[in-house]
Structure 1
Amino acid sequence: MWTAGIQKECMDLAFVDDERVLLVALQNNVLLTYNALDGTVLDTIEWARRLQGRYGDKFKSKFPLTATFKTELSTLAIVYRGQDIVLWNYEEDTYQLYNHDTGLSDGLTVQMASVNTLLFSRSPESSLLVASYTLADLVLFDVRLKKVKVTVSKAGAYYRLSASPDGRTFAAGANDGTIKLYDFETLRVVYTIRSEDHAITTLAFNHDSVRLFDIRGNGRSCRVWEPAALLRREIETESVRTPSTYSRDNHEDVIDRNDDNVSIVTALACHKEGRYIVGKNDATVWLFDSHSGKAVTQHFKLHASITKLGFHKEHALLISVDTAGYLFVHRLQLERDEWCAKEVFQHQSMGTGVQHSIMNLKCDRVLICANDKAAVYPIRSGQAFDGSINHEPEVSYAFTNHPTNPNILISAHRQTVRLYSWQNLASVNVEIVINLSQDLEPDMQLRGIAPILNNSALILNYSGHGPRVKPRAFSIPIPVTSPGSHETKGIAHQQAVCDQMEYYIGSYQDLEIFLGTDGWICSVNKTSFKDKDEVLHHFMPPSDWVRANPRLVINVTDLGDILFAWKGEVAVVKHGLDKDYEVKRVADAL
């Protein structure tokens, strides 16, 4: 990993020489060549000097609008306002000009049309270059044949183009929010997406060219499309394309809207080695590989929508809960190179269904709370112990294991913490009243409690109803187990960090990971969880990743990948914690 500062905006970059060299085209007419291994600058070339010498004042003191590489042809295509397209062979240091009407040009004619953006096909064998003009025309050039291959008049004024890795398709985004997929060889439309959400900022295909990512609103919205037209193009490389394959009869027109047929991701749990487990509202539970993003296997199917998943790595046990009141515990194990799920416990709760559930640290007992009554069940026998805990209806509460005493269960109830024995839920006769530094809103509910900071403290998450109620987090010391009534306060020197926390995600190595109130994924070192200035800001996810589902479903894997449940998908941000950025908070600015 290395970082290099640049003087002007980067228009395009590309790796060459087996990814050992990085080419960077800057808006000041400079090509930078870096050693990709250590970041040293190998060469700096100002391409505009020779260009001005050949074509005079046409390019004097002008800066390009955009540029794109075709490394297989050692070519950089460059766009200047009101000028022909410049094709510069950076290996031979030669130039060619291309215009809207004829392709290869002598540069003497006045160009009446300006280019908005342009793009090469990503197929290594292809020499196709598509350009979107201000006249709303799309023009396809073959730069080997040096001519215009296809022109589509009034196709649309596109400002965002993206080519599929297989070179067959490109996506074009217009200012009105419309996205069209074109066949790269014929400029025939194969798919259209219409949306009322404008401001497309980025389009990108996935590695196998069957999905399109659509980012809008300066990164605040991200959609994933899997058009049938792209799936139908998954044909053998050697097969012959027929006109019927890409005829206009295959063109589909869709409107951006919620698809009620999509199975929504409702729960996430992290497995081992970057794998993660997904529960959906169609009652299915899946195991995914974060390296490939593909499902490893469908483990099993419950009776209704999955509400909770929890995986205990040491014992390889998965606890899953659905809305029909069923709770299952499965042991996940690898048999003959296939992951299998073997049921070891099952329970159904009538009435409210399962409100809360948690396994003890030994994973031989499970607490199940239903109808505001909690009971403990041994995993082997399934018969509940005699003891139980009763809670007031309509009042929020949460459970967690005591991090330093495996025999103790912690129950939090608004601003009260009680300790119970895992043996039979007998009270340890400890009641702790939490004296918070700030009053809670009347309708705020306790949503979760978890140990943090190497098990030296507990974090309590509260949230309310509606966007105006700001989520709150507080940290308190780990409760002592000595009998009696105690009072504790939120840890004052840690509250500055808690005030920036909207949702606690989990731990990764020496970091506590959380979603900040400013919308960034943040972290803080476990040893310095007391200074707001030491909060690291890593990245800001699109707002619809954290608002698409009725409740936040975010997790962090043992490899540091951040997982977001996004409708029917899981967005995996890899290496998101590797870098951090300086972010000025509004409160600090004031």
Structure 2
Amino acid sequence: MENGAMIFLGTPHRGSDSAVSLHRLLSATVGSKSFIQELMRNSGTLTAINEDFRHHARHLNLWSFHETQPTSIGPGKSMLLVERSSAILGYETEGSSHIDADHHGICKYASPEDPGYCSIKKLIAYILSNIPKELSAHSPVKEERQTGHGEVGVIRRTTRAFLLSIAAQMAIYLPAFYERLIEIDQDHMNIHSMSTRILWQKVFVDTLFELPMDQPWYFVLDALDEAEKPNEVVAYLGKIQSRAQIRILMSSRLGMDLDREFQKLRLSYDVFRQETINSEDTKNDMRAYINRQLETLPFNLEDRQEVISMVLTKSQGIFLWVTLAVEEILATVHSKTGVQEALESMPSEMSDFFQQILDTELQAALKPEFGHLLSLEYTINQVCPHLLKLEETTLLVQPIHATVRDFLLQEPPSEFAVDSGDAHQKLAKITLSIWDENTFTEPISFKTSFSRKHEALTQVQPLLQYSAQSWYEHLQDATVDKNLVICLKHFLRTRVLSWIESVGLLGSLRSLTQAGQVLDRFSLQCPLTIVDRDLFSGWAVDLVRIVPKFGRNITRHPFSIHKLIPPFCPYRTCIGSQFGSNGDIVIVGSAMKKWDDCLAHITVGRDGESCKALVCSDAYLVIALSDSKGAFVVYLAETCEEVRRLNHGERIGAMDMDSTGEQVVTGGLKFIRIWNIKTGTMTAQFENDQGARCLALSFQSDNKKIISIASDNTLSIWDLEKMDRVHVSLAYKGWPIEIWDTNKREISSTIPARNPLLARFNPTSNDVYGVDEDGTLSRFVPETGFQLEIDAQSHVLRCNPNGTLLATGNGEGCLQIFTSDTLDLLYKLDKYDDSITDLAFSPDGNRLYDIRSSDCNVWIPQVLLVNAQKDEASSEESESSRPPISSILESSNSLQSIGSLVSNSTGGVRLDFRLDFRVDGAIRQLLMDDKGQVLLVSSERAASMFALSDGSIIGARRVHSKRESPCWLTHPKDPGTLILFTSEFIKLYSWDDFRELTRPGGIPLVHDSINHGKQWKFENENIRTQAYITHDGLHIVSAMQAVGERTASTQCGFWLVSHFNEKSESIEEVSNINDIYIHSMVGVFRNRAVFLDRELWVCTRAADETGDVTRHFYVPSDWLNTSEERPSIITALGEFIYDKHGELIIVKKGMRCKQDFGDLSLTSF
């Protein structure tokens, strides 16, 4: 039994005569069913099923049972429903028997003692008994023998594919591991999109190797030499430290020095053994194989042994040669003399053997060419069975063995050899040209109903998936000619957006980065015109840049690449200049000509607190503040949205994150505390009874121990399982850098340094990097004592996860990136003056975080995105800096960001003079009356009214509570009345003299706490309130959000304007949008509320409770402003205005793009 067994109980494989009777009965009563006709003998459906099943049944053990007793079909009537001739298939692999029962009793048994039940039970036991004990259901090894070189050698040649394969196999047999993989995929990042290093750390080190397992596990790696990076595979496997026993068997052809690779890991003989397999070692195996295969030949035992000896002697230990020789003997030989002639005619060298095959097959090639092939598998088996084969599972045509591929690509080539460059050129042209088909004249998403299944994409174009992920790989190795350049130009100018959409549907954003790298090399290495070189190098940059800026949207909404993304790209980029004007959206005010290296800017300190330290994972970014409470803030790494603020309880001295990205340790003067940042709970605590301030913290690689260094020159090891610690004395201030062995608790080596400030390990080697007080950056190799120093003027540093780059910063705000081996400068940014306190790389190495003062910046310089190590002084910096917009009205407080925008009914305002006055607190809102004669200035604690004719003050009121920033607006039905809108009540005032018109305490607001099942309440929180009037003047839209709770949804409600009068006892909310997460409120357009949702889409919804939410366009992530203020407005003309870090950007015609909330199709296409 190879793949399994199937048991059929009374199955009418060939139909049943009783179906005719049933058809007549139903036709005369309730009416016949169509499926009844398909059960009649020799029906077309059954014939097709049987024919198809016949091809799949050859690997199955089949057992068919038929009934022996008639089945009652009515009073006094009975018949045999499924006869034996129909219940049995008659295949060679089929066993058959009967059960003494009718059609019901053959599968429904009265008791465990029923003869039918006993028969089936015994059969199942028999089937299971034929499974070898070592391959039982509890073993992780599955016997699936594959001949030749097949799928394993092709699909799993990369280290990443190999790791994914191992993870998938282990998940089948370990339910706990499978469940953990689901959590990782949902909570962190898609496993299939992880880089090799992150995949190893997250899935294997942090998950699989930490699971308790009762039995050893065996990993078998065959043909390691055929991996793309064998040394990388060895490096990962050599680092395994698992709670369960894991034993690894690897095989490789001669030529790869495995011993050299393992020597780097310093493994003992007990851990690693290397054996050489000689031809003598496999002779008995080959002898047994030949003997088994030649058993059918009419030879006696003596002759057969002589033949076996002849084959073994000529084989030279090559098993493939033995296999082919046996096939030749079985096909052509009928005597011992014939065996000798056949063996003499077969070359002993594999290259000569393959050449002989080609010479023979040349005769077939000279025949008339084939027309349409009815069966590719049949043709291959007939014409070239010794060279090619068709994989049953993948339907891919492949060489039968790696030596065939080597022969066809060898030097000097034969007349049949494949020229690698020409082959890649042809495939590159094919994979690029399919995008010219009419299939891609509109978004692919519309043709697949947004299905991401590969089957759906294959129906659009059979080569879509292969072309989307392979055209750039073929281009990379192709021989370049004029036609290839023309083909590539045409693709980049016309169809590249369809390709990017397909990449989004496949969820393979890595393809964009890889294609960008290939285009970059192509533009540098190939002879091109200046225009072509600019086109290819431009797209090389664009493809890499759009991943961090728009990757989330491309994956979730692939169609958006056609008309929603290009307008937001810099107008001098290829994607911006070629496709930026394709859609309705027009961007005005953006001065960004090229890509900016800053992805996001986060304001962390609310009251000016400076940032102390930061750590990050693929899911979270954690920043510690220097305040006395020890506050630290948790952000989502992808969107930079604040999740929560936690307090250590004292000033934080150091912080670190474990390898899972879920635990953070903070240390101060008195306590070391461990936190689960997903839940915000403290999971463990150590009391520091020495009274020494914590200076540094670090999780050990297994996350079970924490190492801390204190101000009293001690090193402590905190055991999270035993909840205790060990002290180790350290050196004194001013001593050289010391490397400690934490297991032996002793110094392993020292590094000469004058006045060291900081030291970091390279994560992939033993190299140590340090900075001195004078700004010197040094690299030290402990094994050899090699030391390299440069004057980098740096005081903080961090090494990227791959160990290839170093990032440094200093007190003047200069950010630099160096190569880790030669310390060559690759990138420099010194446009900001604020001192850099700390640095951190994202786990994939594509982002660099720095903290300066109370802010955090997220950088994505080109050198990180492609991880290049080119010999260049620096990459191009961002656009030149300009002074930030301070405020709409200059005040003595000198605001540093736009806090309020004001627009009159025409969509613009002209200010002919400057008001010079002082207000109490920061300005929150500016409002003019309809006549343009009076200006209301609302600050944090009060509101003042000024006459614009001469700047005189009309009146001032202290109307604000300590926990709320309310909103002012003009009454739409009475322009002389001013409305003060809060979360709990409203008040009416006169525009003429600022006189209050309502009773003391105002008019209470009654929120709809039942609608959509959400409760309306803000408990002990500061609230910011906004209010807007719809253009028809019938409704007021309110928006309220808890200040500081940036992840809390804004509460949005609709109110009837007619209820806003002095006589109202209370005002009830007519509807709300609290069933949707609202990131922030923008305003109103016509009669719809405008807001940003969780994904930063600009959305609208009407006051009607049943109205649908419509998405229009989304704000790019690099516009993100995480300060308390989110200044954005929508004008009467539907123009969206946003403050991007002090730069006003206007999005015109964006409201014309409409997308239903639950639908992923744009009506503007």
The residue number in structure 2 matching 1:31 is: 436
* d(CA) in 2 for partners of 1:166, 1:457: 53
Contact 2:892 2:917 in 1 (8 A): no
Taking structure 2 as the reference length, what is the TM-score of the superposition? 0.28
Tell me how far 1:583 sits from its aligned partner. 4.4
Asked if 1:437 corresponds to 2:1008, the answer is yes
* d(CA) in 2 for partners of 1:207, 1:281: 22
Taking structure 1 as the reference length, what is the TM-score of the superposition? 0.51
Tell me how far 1:462 sits from its aligned partner. 1.1
- Give the one of 378, 399, 410 matched to 2:968: 399
Asked if 1:206 corresponds to 2:783, the answer is no
The residue number in structure 1 matching 2:467 is: 64
* d(CA) in 2 for partners of 1:500, 1:170: 37
Tell me how far 1:116 sits from its aligned partner. 8.1
Inter-CA distance 64–396: structure 2 relative to 1 (3 Å threshold): closer
* d(CA) in 2 for partners of 1:60, 1:460: 52
Q: Secondary structure at the match of 2:1072?
A: helix
Question: What one-letter code is carried by the residue in structure 2 that aligns with 1:206?
Answer: P
Stretches of structure 1 lacking an aligned partner (at least 5 in a row):
1-23, 41-58, 68-76, 95-113, 122-128, 133-137, 146-161, 180-200, 223-248, 265-278, 287-298, 319-329, 331-341, 586-590
Contact 1:282 1:304 in 2 (8 A): no
* d(CA) in 1 for partners of 2:430, 2:528: 20
The residue number in structure 2 matching 1:579 is: 1153
Q: Secondary structure at the match of 1:382?
A: coil
Q: Secondary structure at the match of 1:212?
A: coil
Stretches of structure 2 lacking an aligned partner (at least 5 in a row):
1-428, 444-461, 489-510, 550-560, 574-592, 601-617, 620-636, 641-823, 830-838, 840-847, 857-881, 1010-1015, 1160-1165
Which deviates further from its counterpart, 210-219 or 469-478? 210-219
Inter-CA distance 550–578: structure 2 relative to 1 (3 Å threshold): same
Q: Secondary structure at the match of 1:577?
A: helix
* d(CA) in 1 for partners of 2:431, 2:536: 27
Question: What one-letter code is carried by the residue in structure 2 that aligns with 1:361?
Answer: D
Q: Secondary structure at the match of 2:900?
A: strand
* d(CA) in 1 for partners of 2:1041, 2:917: 29
Task: Write the deviation string for residues 489-537 of structure 1: whole angstroms up to 9, x where unpaired.
Answer: 111xx3247755442213445654211245422123x5x64325x2112
Question: What one-letter code is carried by the residue in structure 1 that aligns with 2:527?
Answer: D
Inter-CA distance 88–481: structure 2 relative to 1 (3 Å threshold): same
Contact 2:979 2:987 in 1 (8 A): yes
The residue number in structure 2 matching 1:566 is: 1140
Contact 2:1081 2:1092 in 1 (8 A): yes
Report matched runs for 1:120-131 at 5 Å: 130-131=520-521
Question: What one-letter code is carried by the residue in structure 1 that aligns with 2:1067?
Answer: T
Q: Secondary structure at the match of 1:429?
A: coil
Q: Secondary structure at the match of 1:376?
A: strand
Inter-CA distance 92–82: structure 2 relative to 1 (3 Å threshold): closer
- Give the one of 428, 431, 439 matched to 2:997: 428
Inter-CA distance 412–558: structure 2 relative to 1 (3 Å threshold): closer
The residue number in structure 1 matching 2:797 is: none
Q: Secondary structure at the match of 2:951?
A: coil
Tell me how far 1:460 sits from its aligned partner. 1.6
- Give the one of 450, 467, 487 matched to 2:1028: 450
The residue number in structure 2 matching 1:459 is: 1037
- Give the one of 904, 910, 919 matched to 1:312: 904
Tell me how far 1:578 sits from its aligned partner. 3.2
- Give the one of 545, 551, 567 matched to 2:1119: 545
Report matched runs for 1:179-578 at 5 Å: 206-208=570-572, 211-213=594-596, 252-254=827-829, 256-257=848-849, 283=886, 303-305=894-896, 306-312=898-904, 314=906, 317-318=909-910, 330=911, 342-343=912-913, 346-352=915-921, 354-369=923-938, 372-385=941-954, 388=957, 390-429=959-998, 431-438=1002-1009, 439-442=1016-1019, 443=1021, 445-452=1023-1030, 454-464=1032-1042, 465-467=1044-1046, 469-480=1048-1059, 482-491=1061-1070, 494-496=1071-1073, 499-508=1076-1085, 511-517=1088-1094, 519-524=1096-1101, 526=1102, 529-532=1104-1107, 534-557=1108-1131, 560-570=1134-1144, 573=1147, 575-578=1149-1152
Inter-CA distance 252–205: structure 2 relative to 1 (3 Å threshold): farther
Question: What one-letter code is carried by the residue in structure 1 that aligns with 2:437?
Answer: L
* d(CA) in 1 for partners of 2:1072, 2:542: 48
Looking at secondary structure, tell me which structure has more helix per residue.
2
Tell me how far 1:454 sits from its aligned partner. 2.0
Inter-CA distance 280–407: structure 2 relative to 1 (3 Å threshold): farther
The residue number in structure 2 matching 1:142 is: 527
Question: What one-letter code is carried by the residue in structure 2 that aligns with 1:552?
Answer: R
Q: Secondary structure at the match of 1:307?
A: coil
Task: Write the deviation string for residues 123-148 of structure 1: whole angstroms up to 9, x where unpaired.
Answer: xxxxxx6447xxxxx96112689xxx
Question: What one-letter code is carried by the residue in structure 1 that aligns with 2:1054?
Answer: S
Tell me how far 1:402 sits from its aligned partner. 0.5
* d(CA) in 2 for partners of 1:502, 1:62: 36
Contact 2:900 2:1127 in 1 (8 A): no
Contact 1:376 1:384 in 2 (8 A): yes
Contact 1:164 1:205 in 2 (8 A): no
Inter-CA distance 570–385: structure 2 relative to 1 (3 Å threshold): closer
Task: Write the deviation string for residues 171-212 of structure 1: whole angstroms up to 9, x where unpaired.
Answer: 38889x999xxxxxxxxxxxxxxxxxxxxx999973346521
Inter-CA distance 361–499: structure 2 relative to 1 (3 Å threshold): farther
Question: What one-letter code is carried by the residue in structure 2 that aligns with 1:462?
Answer: M
Looking at secondary structure, tell me which structure has more strand per residue.
1
* d(CA) in 2 for partners of 1:115, 1:352: 49
Inter-CA distance 475–140: structure 2 relative to 1 (3 Å threshold): same
Task: Write the deviation string for residues 54-84 of structure 1: whole angstroms up to 9, x where unpaired.
Answer: xxxxx999932468xxxxxxxxx86549963
Inter-CA distance 61–399: structure 2 relative to 1 (3 Å threshold): closer
Task: Write the deviation string for residues 27-46 of structure 1: whole angstroms up to 9, x where unpaired.
Answer: 7935236999xx89xxxxxx
Inter-CA distance 62–308: structure 2 relative to 1 (3 Å threshold): closer
* d(CA) in 1 for partners of 2:1136, 2:894: 29
* d(CA) in 1 for partners of 2:515, 2:1112: 32
Task: Write the deviation string for residues 92-115 of structure 1: whole angstroms up to 9, x where unpaired.
Answer: 999xxxxxxxxxxxxxxxxxxx99
Contact 2:895 2:922 in 1 (8 A): no
* d(CA) in 2 for partners of 1:535, 1:60: 37
Rg larger for: 2
If asked which structure has higher relative contact order (CA below 8 Å, sep 6+), I would say 1
Question: What one-letter code is carried by the residue in structure 2 that aligns with 1:535?
Answer: V
Contact 1:28 1:63 in 2 (8 A): no
Question: What one-letter code is carried by the residue in structure 2 that aligns with 1:513?
Answer: V
Inter-CA distance 450–543: structure 2 relative to 1 (3 Å threshold): same
Contact 1:523 1:536 in 2 (8 A): yes
Q: Secondary structure at the match of 2:903?
A: strand
Tell me how far 1:577 sits from its aligned partner. 3.1
Q: How many residues align?
A: 385
Question: What one-letter code is carried by the residue in structure 1 that aligns with 2:980?
Answer: S
